[in-house]
Chain A
Amino acid sequence: MKNAWIICVLAAALAACSGRQTAPEAAMPASLEELTGHTVAVAGGSSTDLLLSQYEGINLMRISIGDMPLAVKSGRAEFAMMQEIQYDVNKLDRQGFRKCFSGILRGVSGVAFRKEDGTVCEDFNGFLRGMRARGEYDRWYRDWIQNPDSMVVETAARPTPVSGKKLTIGITLVFPYIYYSNEDLSGMEIDLFNRFCNEKGYSPEYSIVQFPALIPSLNAHKIDVILSHIMVTPERAQQVLFSDVYLEGNQCCFGLAPEWDAADGTGIWGRLKDSFRKNLVEEDRWKLLAGGLAVTLEISLFSLLLAILIGALLCYLRMRPDKAVSSATKVFIDTVRGIPVLVILMMMFYVIFANLRLSGVTVAVFSFGLFYGACFSEVFRAGMLGVGRGQWEAGSALGLNKAQVFRLIAFPQALKRIVPVFKGEVISLIKNTSIVGYVAVLDLTSAGDIIRTRTLDAFFPLILVSVIYIILSRISGGLLDALDRKLNPAK
């Protein structure tokens, strides 16, 4: 019943938000200089970011490309900068946006390799030369820009390269270069790279990485290749080895079209239905969410089990009469609890387990297990301290050994005290797994992000994801409440 209420409220918020659009008053700028005094959304760490940073007086808002239309529509940013090709392919003109000017930051993109991987780079350059010579390159470019949907079908029909030397490729999802279509990775870059792998005998494995983390991941050997329409700049060229140019482009600046009217006559339910279709039904996008949910559940469950084990162990060590062991454990617990869990996750992924090539999910389970183990240990300890000395003495005096007293008397009593506090920690764990996107894990939150970058509709996926998290929290909370009621029948 309570759940139903929450969902109703959120649905209303969703409907209201979808309709919240205001027409701008400001005139459209025609050059970079005219952006002074305005808030402009750029991709964090991109060349646009570097360029615009040199202009004083421009408020930069560093977000991901997929969030730009939303940022502009909601008024958080007045203008945004993205690749002109992205603007065109996404047909943003039809969604109430207008290009202000373009042609800035003309640049070229290359595939990036580690400096020492010259042979792979040469292979790629050879492949590219061959494609251009045969005229395949022009066809590839034209078809993807003009009719991406049919290209998706064509790409999907082509056999996926499986044999050969394994390459891990770091990607960021931006339509039309790389995106999910019917649960499969697709897009012009994926198409190009798969063709290369087929021709030269490589076995690709794609891994989603946040754009700013791409180069560090490459140098940390987490990935072998960066395939993210990354622009060639002298600074980057010092850190990585770029292939020949395979894409050219320029940036455009856009804002809301002055004449665009929010009222399109479809009403709240019509818009909701439209969002539902676009974000879930089209291209079976709900499967992405379902897959993400499964990953979130997997990480939550295994982290929880690991955290309980670690928590119990730390609690045991912390409660040893030996002062040295006890205080060393306390220092450890305080240290782990003092670090934000996101930082622990990043350290585990990029530093501690950097050379082990463990999957993101495994690293996430270790990180959450460790962090919440430290949190749980203090919850457990508080529960154990609540069991009076007299209870232990009475058990011992009757002839029970320590383990029996613990199992039959102390633990059941401590459990009663632990469960209500534990519930909050478990819910916190489930919700905190949403940060695993940082280590290239495709969980529920990331799945929502992917849908957003593709449909450029932020509200619906975000709120849908929220609702799923609320339901997860309610279910786990409900289970623990049931346990609590079983332990405390008097309540």
Chain B
Amino acid sequence: MITVKHVSKVFRKGDQEITVLRDVNCEIAKGEVIGIIGPSGTGKSTFLRCLNRLEEPSGGHIEIDGVDLMDRMADVNLLRRKMGMVFQNFNLFEHLTILDNITLCPRTLLGRSREEAEAKAMELLQLVGLYEKAGSLPEELSGGQKQRAAIARCLAMEPEIILFDEPTSALDPTMVSEVLVVIRRLASEGMTMAIVSHEMQFIRNVSTRIFFMNEGVIYEEGTPEQIFEHPRRPATIAFINRIRTIEFILADKHFDLYGLFGEVGVFCTKYGLGNDMQTKVQHVLEEMLCEILPFCGPVNLTLDYSEKDYTLRIDFVQEGCTDPILETVPEDSLSLKLIHGMSASLCETAPGSIHVEM
């Protein structure tokens, strides 16, 4: 139904160029529910907005039912009728009642009579549970109600696919579920949808396929089970496990140890690691960096904390090192004993790469 080939998007701000979409390729078939997830600022919304050309893609092709949306001759307005869009900020027409919001476009674009359009609108309002709000102005509705009305407005055009752009991000937590219920119902009725959302549990349940977007590309895609249970690529794994990372590069032996402790302390506090853990991390870092590593080159230090299973990992990579380091350290070295005591496990995965699990 929709084929996306090599779509890119570059924003120009003065002299700066910001590449949001690098090269996006995908196909969406009828009846699919595509969940689009990924870290903030990786182009999820931009991708969705490129699909109906609210954003002008900088390059590539988007075909809908065989018609190239990027073709100069293509009637974009006609193609847009097939694609509904639900916005983060609802964007209901502020000067019209809910009923008029829903009937405006069917009457203007599809040539429906007022009676026809209104009968259909009332049906849709019934579906989203807003039958009684037909005569209200948008400003009189709560956020959740506004979003449901916006979904009804979308459905009134009888679209072949609906694009949801973070439909619950602007809502109070108490109102999220009333909107999700409506979307879930549409999914169960076989509506084709693409949903950008941060509601992981919802996306996992409702989607037939997941796109994980990272750095302007669809980094990994698969069924909800594949993505959530068995992610294959590092960024996906980090995202799914909600891994928080901090990195340091220490040039030589004379690095600022106490400055490093300070930054690590901030990192630990930020993610709720207790004083106890913080002290242990400091000991491990001090012994490792001051006693064990030879500093025959710069050392890369990485701390990864998973918010999913609450584990902290520390990786040391000693560059310019060809022989295993731990083997050269005496078994009964006090430093080594100390590290063993403080951590859950310690191993050297490759010469110079030491992995510590706390």
Contact = CB atoms under 8 A, between A and B. Distances in A.
Given A393-B91, A397-B52, A408 B104 contact: yes
Contacts of A395: 93
A200 interface: no
A416 interface: yes
Given A399-B109, A400-B109, A408-B108, A394 B91 contact: yes
Contacts of B302: none
B95 interface: yes
Interface stretch (B2-10, B77-85, B173-181, B280-288): B77-85
B54 interface: yes
A21 to B, nearest CB: 59
Interface in A351-370: none
B105 interface: yes
A398 interface: yes
Interface in A370-403: 388, 390-391, 393-401
Nearest to A398: B105
A399 B105 contact: yes
- Point out which of B84, B95, B154, B157 has the most chain A C-beta atoms below 10 A from its C-beta: B95
Contacts of B153: 398
A487 B95 CA distance: 9
B89 interface: yes
A400 B52 contact: no
A331 B324 CA distance: 73
A394 B87 contact: yes
B91 A390 contact: yes
A398 B93 CA distance: 12
Nearest to B49: A393
B80 A396 contact: yes
B152 to A, nearest CB: 12
Contact count band on A: 20 to 34
A416 B95 contact: yes
A409 B91 CA distance: 11
B94 interface: yes
A404 B137 CA distance: 21
What is the predominant secondary structure among interface residues of chain B facing chain A? mixed
B218 interface: no
Interface in B239-287: none
Give the size category of B's interface with A: 20 to 34
Contacts of B303: none
A390 B137 CA distance: 17
B95 A404 contact: no
Interface string B113-140: 0000000000000000000000001000
Contacts of B317: none
Q: Which has the most chain A C-beta neighbours within 10 Å: B54, B93, B153?
A: B93
A408 B105 CA distance: 10
Contact of A399 (B77, B94, B137): B77
A198 interface: no
A167 B310 CA distance: 101
Contacts of B91: 388, 390-391, 393-394
A413 B54 CA distance: 21
A404 B54 contact: no
B77 A413 contact: no
Query: Which residue, of A394, A396, A399, A416, has the highest number of chain B Cβ atoms within 10 A?
Result: A399
A399 B78 contact: yes
B92 interface: yes
Interface string B88-103: 0101111100000000
15 contacts: A390-B89, A393-B91, A394-B91, A396-B54, A397-B52, A397-B54, A397-B84, A397-B87, A398-B105, A399-B77, A399-B157, A400-B105, A401-B77, A409-B95, A490-B137
Top 7 A-B pairs ranked by shortest CB distance? A394-B91, A399-B81, A390-B91, A397-B85, A399-B80, A398-B105, A399-B77
Given A390-B87, A398-B109, 12 more contacts: A394-B87, A396-B80, A397-B54, A399-B77, A399-B80, A400-B77, A400-B108, A409-B95, A412-B95, A413-B94, A487-B95, A490-B137
